[in-house]
Structure 1
Amino acid sequence: MQTNQLKKVTAAGLLVTLGIIFGDIGTSPLYVFSSIIGNRPITKELVYGGISCVFWTLTLQTTFKYILLTLQADNRGEGGIFSLYALVWRYRHWLYFPAILGAATLLADGIITPPISVASAIEGLNGVHGLENIIVPGNALTIGIVIGIITLLFFFQQFGTKVVGSAFGPIMFLWFSMIMFWGIIQIFHFPNILAAFNPYYAIELLVKYPNGFWLLGAVFLCTTGAEALYSDLGHCGKKNIQVSWIFVKVALVANYFGQAAWLLHSGKTTLGGLNPFYEIMPHWFLIPAIVIATLATIIASQALISGSFTLISEAVSMNFWPRITIKYPTDVRGQIYIPSINWILYAGCVGMMLYFKDSNSMVVAYGFSITVAMIMTTTLMFYYMKFVKKWSPLIIALILVIFISVESSFFVANVVKLAKRWQFLIFEISLVFTMYVWFKARKISNRFLHFENFMQHFDTLKKLSFDTSIPKYATHLVYLTKANNKKNIESRIIDSILKKRPKRADVYWFVHINRTDEPYTMEYTVDEMVPDKIIRVDFNLGFRVQPRVHLFFRKVLEETMDYYDVKGGARYGCSNTKEISTDIRYVIIEKFLSVENEFSSREGFILRSYFAIKELAQSDKKAFGLDMSDTEIENIPMVIAPATSVKLQRTELSQVPMHY
């Protein structure tokens, strides 16, 4: 099914949306209510207040903020924090930082979503007769099963999800139908639980219940998938998400209220290690429920992994992340595979499982980073509402008061988790550091790019091209240029062509890649600056398009030949059979940090870190999709802050001792 068809509100589109969008938030009933109750005595005040908090959190954060408001901030149909940043970056120069912090924290908390979801499902086997002493939360067998499932999940990422992806929608429809059905059954047994829709119970819990405010850290888990929901906007479209959310929210609310009804109807005084999600079901249905829950958690994890790939791909395109290998395992638009990120996430997930051992321990450490990501989205949304949508200041102020009040409360309640999750800070700080250094270093180096008037070199390049005394370097010589203005060219490119060993070519091509704010733009223009001799090609590529320069350039040559925009016959590799010449030589100019620089401490640290990270990153040759044999790398020293004074003293020759 084509992407544009999925964005229409159809039964098929809604079914696919269930499989792609709502996996994370949809599996939260597995652990949210057991986390709220914990080891506390089961009381009406706690249960009514907890379920009321869950309902109003889903209403304010997920429904109001994301489904109704944030989904409006679509960038040509695409969502996510970098898509939002692409819409507002021009209004304030510092908005790169909330984009970086939001993306990094979203990725960091992603390493705990697969293990906590899968573990919550597998641990349900503990309630099956005969398995009580075998599948025990935290024992080696349970941990091994969870790690085995996670290993298979990450291993199959390299093959894409085109085949099994078609089953995601039906499975998630079955999942939501199941949790809604058993929840409604429990509500029939104790219909008085519906009184918890009244926000009074939520307020009473937070204000009067002992340490009730800190329960918000557990309540927040019900909305952790909302940020990922926005990131997946481009896969299904706004309308499909909004319509399918009606069914999803009804199912979630029914299940949460059903769990609350069981807690008050069962006569239990404490949970005692029981999970109310499984307790509301009859024992004969437990194994089918666990199978469906496991499949649902795998789908939820898959959605999170795919979203991480997309996020990093956007970061690479927008100069927030080093260039890395990106693969396309299927012909499905937007489906990518990033090996390095896949195995980093895998290592993180396994590490979390081995460290925390069971889902209850992981719940304690879950949620802090997502609150940070949500606050960063709110920050960017303020500038979107103010400058892009131009809404009334009164409406914007009202929206901000609601979101800031809710999210700051969740943030404070989750701060106490830092002691339980200090290991996450290492990963999060590493991500933020990498993105910040890469972004700022590119800004610093671009400040010292020297451009010249390109037109003043036209005659020299023409003479060089016809000078047969110099061996021909290539038929088509191609340089990548950062000059936005066609009249300019980098000094280093001119030096590369004319100085030392002049590079004679029949045609000089200068290729510029312009990243658009739209996700999937693929356009180009050709400008014959000197007919048949000096030609500039501008590629306009969306921030989700991988720049495969060699493939795109050959397409330009073919169409140039077909439409006769550029003349030159065989000089362009054209023959009567319309074959493209293979005599194309690309030159990439790479910089290294010169020892002659004298930086400020800040810039020196950023640039040295940048070049250290660059050693681990993919080369420009691979990143731009250039054939190995047709590309030459020229290394030049990067001198940003040259030494202005050298304290070197001359002495008389007679005073210098002679050594032989």
Structure 2
Amino acid sequence: MFKTKDITIGSLLIALGIVYGDIGTSPLYVMQAILYTNSSIVTEELVLGGISLIFWTLTLQTTIKYVVLTLQADNNGEGGILALYALVKKYFKWLIVPAIIGVAAILADGILTPPISVSSAIEGLNIIMPLEENVTIMIVLTIILAIFSVQKYGTDKIGKIFGPVMFIWFSMIGLFGIIQLVQHGEILKGLNPYYAFKLMRDGNIPYILGAVFLCTTGAEALYSDLGHCGRENIYYSWIFVKIMLLLSYFGQGAYLLKRTGEKVIHSPFFLIMPSWFIIPGVIVATLATIIASQALISGSFTLISEAIKLNVFPRLSIKYPTKEKGQVYLSGVNKALLIGCVGIILIFKKSQNMQAAYGLSITITMLMTTLLLSQYIRFVKNKKILWIAVLGVFGTIELTFLYANSFKILSGGYVTLLITAALAFLMYIWEYSFKIKRRYEKFVNLNNYKNNFEALKNEEDIPLYAGNVVYLTKSQKWDQVEPKVVYSIFNNDPKKADNYWFININVTDDPYTREYEFHKIEDNRIFVIDFNLGFRVSQGVNVLLFQVIQDLINRKEIEFKYRDYMLDYGDLKGIGNFKFIIIEEVLAIENDFSAWDSFIISAQLLVKKFTVSPQKWYGIDTSVVDIEKVPILFGKTLPERNLKRIEE
């Protein structure tokens, strides 16, 4: 196999299948969207200007911003907006805002990509066999339902064909593009940025720019899939992809130049094909759009699982359908995305009606990435001039495109705003509610309760609650816990045990950290374990605790008292049973939060009812879990209430 360093034909095919589905299928609808801004009437100025804008947008936004600059901002080999946020969040607290908005916009993109891409492919059939609108909708819905129905099985096996299919796709669009290009080479004048400026000067700038920006959809995937494919594989495969994309766009432009003055209602993408190839072309296009949809769906799963572990999204059930690194499945997200896609199809019906909403989500995502990237270059790379240039150049470009797309809000862009705003507000509620709690949280030192533990141990009237009692805490100091924990041990059904374990999980900015720290409050009796886990590592406490105990026994740092009635389980001899105590919070009727803070806390507790339970999230067997509810009382100090006794 051909190999240069870590680059192989297989790795390049993997990159083609994973990274480029979204941006690779944009030629299906971009030129048609540009024509639509002029009532589908072809003019030389529109074609040359549109092609020029596409070329320079792909060069500036995708090649320079993402391939050259953003791919350098890797978090231990991982990419994506949350990986980037993890690198810069310590510098400014406000950076959580672009991170949340960016995540919400990417999820909105995940809802919009399958409908627009699959619809664009199926609509190609209208050139040779006009279909009723309802028939097209039913075909698209069937394909979308099929895509989402197989998500729970993962893509370990079927994913192997993604690369070869995308190679066929790019080769096909490049071939048909070059056939038109060699016949009408005058389209190459579009390389001159003069035509782009001329079109913006004389044309309908907002609508033209809104259509052009669709050509760079999927550029975010270049960065998000950094960990799956590697930087060099993306570099090299992008050379091939960009050439094929430009051949397709310039080929469509060459075809249109021959038809100046005509009205072209069908997508030029299919019009440049011979009529006998339309059906095979639609089949290949449909397969490519399915792969593009799969990439966005899988990316949404990964993104939300990261957001959950970074505590900016409600906890949902996460499953790992295959052994492939990084592949996750969230059934709740799968259903939500499916409902969203079906709704988009039923509301807009045609791909051209979806373009306004689609372009807005892309623009918002890229603008948020630019804000985070500029701060990464500023603080991590310490390049003062470059970060100003990045923020100035790309911020200006994306604000211009955002302005252009804002004119499409009433014609479909409102969908993106509603989805993005709803998701961003959900994340704000979740993140800010914990910030409110942290503002008032207090902790007590476990060392101050050694006498209480000893008294409970010697209290003969209290039966043994469990061999090992385990609490999950949120303290930043290993020897401290929340007051509600010690109250649970000593006052709320006193929990007499042989051993007490206090576990704290700290999510690190490193994606794959797996470390633990071990401390003793009292030898062979009271232990503290601090886990440092990356935001892409499972937080299954059962498995983690078992591994730590085995390690500690092997190191002879702990030993358990063996009782005659116990069965001998080798290394775990004498360890006894475990009981996990989960303390759930409820909002007290009487508290002194501000009205807004009270609303946020109430909303967070409401959302929590629809999330996965703590015992399922931490992988704890429900038979060894006790749930205790405590009121959230903290806030400002409640005013003193004096009661007067009436004497008889």
Which amino acid in 1 is paired with 2:157? V
* Aligned residue number for residue 640 of structure 1: 634
Q: Map Cα deviations across residues 206-256 of structure 1 (whole Å, 9 max, x no partner).
A: 11x232353000000000111232222211111111111010000101100
Name which of 571, 575, 580 aligns with 1:586.
580
Tell me which amino acid in the other structure corresponds to 2:402. Answer: F
2:29 paired residue number: 31
Moved over 4 A (4+): 571-574, 579-582, 646-654
After superposition, give the CA deviation of every residue in 1:592-615 in whole Å (9 maximum; x if it has no partner).
Answer: 111110221221221121112112
Q: Secondary structure at the match of 2:89?
A: helix
1:196 match: 190
Report the AA paired with residue 112 of structure 1.
Answer: L
Mapping of residues 217-366 of structure 1, within 5 Å = 217-265=210-258, 267=259, 269-366=261-358
Aligned residues: 641
Structure 2 residue 598 is the aligned partner of structure 1 residue 604: yes
Cα shift at 1:576: 6.1
Bigger mean CA deviation after superposition, 474-483 or 397-406:
397-406
CA distance in 1, matches of 2:643, 2:505: 49
The 1:453/1:202 distance shift into structure 2, 3 A limit, reads same
Alpha-carbon spacing, 1:385–1:642, altered in 2? closer, same or farther (3 Å) = closer
How far is the alpha carbon of 1:492 from its aligned partner? Answer: 1.4
5 Å matches for 1:523-602?
A: 523-570=515-562, 575=568, 577-579=570-572, 581=575, 583-602=577-596
Aligned pair in 2 of structure 1 residues 352, 576: CA closer, same or farther (>3 Å)? closer
- For residues 406-454 of structure 1, the C-alpha deviation after alignment (integer angstroms, 9 at most, x for no partner) is 1111000000111122233332221111100110100111222211122
**Number of the residue aligned with 2:12:** 14
Match of 1:420 in 2: 411
Q: Which amino acid aligns with 2:364?
A: V
1:507 matched residue in structure 2: 499
CA distance, structure 1, for counterparts of residue 492 and residue 330 of structure 2: 40
Amino acid of the structure 1 residue aligned with 2:19:
I
Kindly indicate whether the alpha-carbon contact (under 8 Å) linking 1:103 and 1:311 is maintained by their aligned counterparts in 2. yes
Q: Aligned partners of 1:284, 1:470: CA distance in 2, in Å?
A: 85
Give 3-state SS (helix, strand or coil) of 2:407's partner: helix
Q: Hey, what's the Cα distance between the residues in 1 that align with 2:442 and 2:321?
A: 40
8 Å contact from structure 1 (residues 25, 223) kept in 2: yes
User: After the TM superposition, which of the residue ranges 465-474 and 218-227 deviates more from structure 2?
Assistant: 465-474
| SS in structure 1 of the partner of residue 78 of structure 2 | coil
- Alignment TM-score, normalising by the size of structure 1: 0.93
CA distance in 2, matches of 1:67, 1:528: 49
Q: Report the residue type matching 2:539 in the other structure.
A: P
Query: In structure 2, which of residues 143, 158, 164 is the aligned counterpart of residue 164 of structure 1?
Result: 158
Taking only the aligned residue pairs, the percentage that are identical comes to 47
Distance across 2 between alignment mates of 1:6 and 1:552: 39
Q: Which amino acid aligns with 1:342?
A: N
1:483 paired with 2:445, answer: no
8 Å CA contact 1:7, 1:238 repeated in 2: no
Q: CA deviation at 1:382?
A: 1.5
- Larger displacement relative to structure 2 (623-632 or 521-530): 521-530
Distance 1:218-1:571 versus aligned 2 partners, 3 A rule: farther
| Amino acid aligned to 1:318 | L
Shift of 1:79: 1.1
Alpha-carbon separation, structure 2, partners of 1:19 and 1:370: 21
Q: What is the identity, as a one-letter code, of the residue corresponding to 1:317?
A: K
C-alpha contact (below 8 Å) 1:27/1:117 kept by paired residues: yes
C-alpha contact 2:374 2:390 (8 A) present in aligned 1: no
Cross-structure match for 1:211? 204
- Indicate which of 377, 385, 388 corresponds to 1:397: 388
State the match for 1:85 in structure 2: 85
How far does residue 361 in structure 1 lie from its aligned partner after superposition?
A: 1.2
- List per-residue Cα deviations over 1:252-304 (Å, max 9, x = no partner): 01100000001112x35334322110111112221111111000000000000
1:381 aligns with 2:373: yes
Which position in structure 2 is the counterpart of 1:60?
60
Match of 1:497 among 489, 492, 501: 489
- The 1:236–1:570 alpha-carbon spacing in structure 2 relative to 1, beyond 3 Å, is farther
Q: Does 1:406 align with 2:400?
A: no
- The one-letter code sitting in structure 2 at the alignment partner of 1:621 is Q
Does the aligned pair in 2 maintain the 1:561–1:574 contact within 8 Å? no
Which letter does structure 2 place at the counterpart of 1:373? Answer: T
CA contact 1:79–1:232 (8 Å) conserved in 2: yes
Is the Cα contact below 8 Å between 1:7 and 1:13 reproduced in 2? no
Q: Work out whether residues 40 and 264 of structure 2, in 8 Å CA contact, stay in contact via their aligned partners in 1.
A: no
Please name the residue that 2:167 is paired with.
173
Q: Is 2:615 the partner of 1:621?
A: yes
Cα 1:18–1:243 change in 2 (3 A) is same
- The whole-number CA distance in structure 1 between the counterparts of 2:488 and 2:519 is 22
- Separation of aligned partners in 1, 2:531 and 2:224: 26
* 3-state SS of 2:532 partner: strand
**Matching residue of 1:100:** 100
Deviates more, 1:575-584 or 1:407-416: 575-584
Aligned equivalents of 1:46 and 1:127: distance in 2?
23
Q: Is the 8 A contact 1:6 1:236 kept in 2?
A: no
- Aligned-partner Cα distance in 2 for 1:578–1:348: 51
1:140-177 alpha-carbon deviations (Å, 9 max, x no partner): 11100000000010010011111100000000011011
Separation in 1 of the partners of 2:646 and 2:458? 53
Q: For the Cα contact (< 8 Å) 2:370–2:390, is it kept in 1?
A: no
Q: Residue type of the partner of 1:420? A: S
Whole-Å separation in 2 of the counterparts to 1:71 and 1:480: 37
Which is further off, 564-573 or 629-638? Answer: 564-573
2:113 aligns to what? Answer: 113
**C-alpha separation in 1, matches of 2:287 and 2:372:** 35
Normalising by the residue count of structure 2, what TM-score does the alignment of the two structures yield?
0.95
> Residues 7 and 239 of structure 1 are in contact (CA less than 8 Å); yes or no, is this contact kept in structure 2?
no
Contact conserved, 1:512 with 1:539, CA < 8 A, in 2?
yes
Contact 1:569/1:575 (<8 A) preserved: no
Paired letter, 1:69: L
| 2:27 partner letter | P
In the TM superposition, residue 643 of structure 1 has moved relative to its aligned partner by 6.2
Structure 2, gaps ≥5 residues long = none
1:110–1:408 Cα change, 3 Å: same
Amino acid at match of 1:22: Y
CA distance in 1, matches of 2:557, 2:635: 44
Q: What secondary structure is seen at the aligned counterpart in 2 of 1:273?
A: coil
